[in-house]
Amino acid sequence: MPASLLEMEIPRRLLVKLMPVLAAMARSEAQGPSEAPPPRISKEMLQQALALAELEFSEEQLVLMLPSVNRNLPSFQALRKKDVPLDTEPAIRFRPIAPAVATQGKRVFRQSRLKTRPQRPDSIESLAFAPVTQLSALVKAKKVSSVELTTMYLARLKRYSGQLNCVITMTEDLAMKQAAQADSEIRRGHYKGPLHGIPYGAKDLFNTKGIRTTWGAEPYRDNVPDYDATAVARLADAGAVLLAKLSMGALAQGGLWFGGMTKNPWNTEQTSSGSSAGSASSTSAGLVGFSIGTETLGSIVSPSTRCGCAGLRPTYGRVSRYGAMGLSWTMDKIGPICRSVEDCALVLNAMYGPDGKDTTVLGVPLAWNPEMPLAKLRIGVLKAEFDRLQGESKDVYDKALASLAKSGANLQNVELPDMGANALRIILSAEASAAFDDLTRTGGVNQLKGQAAGDWPNSFRSARTIPAVEYIRAQRARTLLMQQMDSFMSNWDVLVSPTGSATLLITNLTGHPQVTVPCGFVDRIPAGLLFTGHPYQEGTPLRAALAFEQATDWHTMHPKVDWGETKG
């Protein structure tokens, strides 16, 4: 009898059942050494692995399991050797609502009407902090050229981006070429719309053909893709001008990248937050006309809030993720970071819709009407979240709600039930670990600057212990969360909360859109008011956010830091 089996201390009743097998093994050994290698996974190893799932099996069950467990190893090894490109999606699909519901509605997109005729300013740089709505009116009326705007923003990027550490790669040659083309098209009467000739920046996880796309991470700092991401291509089709690839936290976490920490223009001793760190920082500082970023769990809402920008995280499946770094295939979303609410609507309008490449994107009409009667909206206020605030935060948000009420909004207090969303965070951990499995195995994650307990390298390693069964169970529980959130939202068109709301995690899991706008300052750093809407109905929370924006002047303020700009 093989010594390895004797050492397992098999009970007598099981030993009797295994006697025929043992006899065969003995005959095989007598004939000569077996070609099969000894099992890599022992009973003790199996028991320790099962402890992660809080499972205990009998000795008989463990013995029966061991051959199957060891037989799986070659399959695992074969999968690890298989070349799976980083932009390969898994053969699963997540949608926030049923397709039949999503495709209902009509496309009604109306831009605000100009109150005054656009006039050329005395100084082009005075437009640095202007919203897209103002810039586009000037460009359309040929009062200002795209080349002039592009030249101005490029100069500001060169002058100030180093202090904010918000740029990874300048795209000056491309920008000047696109700007000249835009001016030529406009002169010939081929005006493409409100983004035509408007300079912008893109988070450095969007592929740009022939221009490096680093994901903010050391192992990819020399990566040069051979195609454009859909979002970048569509903005180019709309006539927008790409100025720079903006900094992002390494592999979409926080504000720390291989060049250091991205700074907040309101206080350069602090980070701008992340992971769309450079997008928010550069937009706030007037270095770009607008920017685009991504969010998986707060990466648009958080930096937009801290930098005093308007940020929109659209519905999951609204904008194609093709050509954008994948972190969590069922949670990643692409959206704009701007200086006004309507700017967000204009940028989303240029990017959204199916491209035939990202199969999660539905052809759902985008509705935007800035003149929609506010009184018609059922707006629920998550009162308990505001009540928990203290000190300066409490005062800021009380005033914000008062301003929203004065704008004509019909506010009703509502209580958000505990939906148990925290347990579902393992979905992001498991998917992110799978996305960068090869990087973990090769040791590439060791090159990242962030190596603390909460940074990706440790998360990627730790997530290897999440059982596949628990991940699937979490996705099933996510379906229940979606149903619960849908039921809760059935009585409301919009929810209002502080940006630190529990809805941030919930809606990133369910796919609901959120809009954040500046609403004051806490400890001299911007605070944000958060508006949540129904899936594929971004126009509704945008309309409520616009009402607040029009009732206040927070969006007109820009940072005053050591580069000498003035506030007001």
Active-site positions read 203, 275, 299
**Cβ-count burial of 9 within 10 angstroms (0-12 exposed, 13-18 middle, 19+ buried)?**
exposed
Residue-wise over 267-279: b if at least 16 C-beta within 10 A, else e?
ebebbbbbbbbbb
Burial group, residue 119, by CB count within 10 angstroms (0-12, 13-18, 19+)? exposed
**Which has the closest alpha carbon to 497: 531, 525, 467, 522?**
531
Rounded Cα distance between 567 and 557, Å, is 6
Cβ neighbour number for residue 318 with a 10 Å cutoff: 27
Angstrom distance (rounded) from CA 76 to CA 41: 13
Please enumerate in sequence order all residues whose Cβ is within 8 A of that of 399, keeping only pairs 6 or more positions apart, or say none: 520
Contact predicate 303/273, CB 8 Å: yes
C-alpha distances in angstroms, 261 versus 24, 253, 270, 296? 65, 12, 9, 20
**Cα–Cα separations (whole angstroms), residue 471 to 19, 314, 359, 460, 481:** 39, 25, 22, 15, 15
Q: In angstroms, rounded to a whole number, what is the distance separating the alpha carbons of residues 512 and 314?
A: 7
The Cα 210–Cα 224 span in angstroms is 6
Beta-carbon contacts of 152 under 8 Å, excluding residues fewer than 6 positions away, are 124, 125, 127, 128
* Six-digit token string for 62: 């463990």
Q: Classify residue 356 by burial, with Cβ atoms within 10 Å: 0-12, 13-18, 19+.
A: exposed
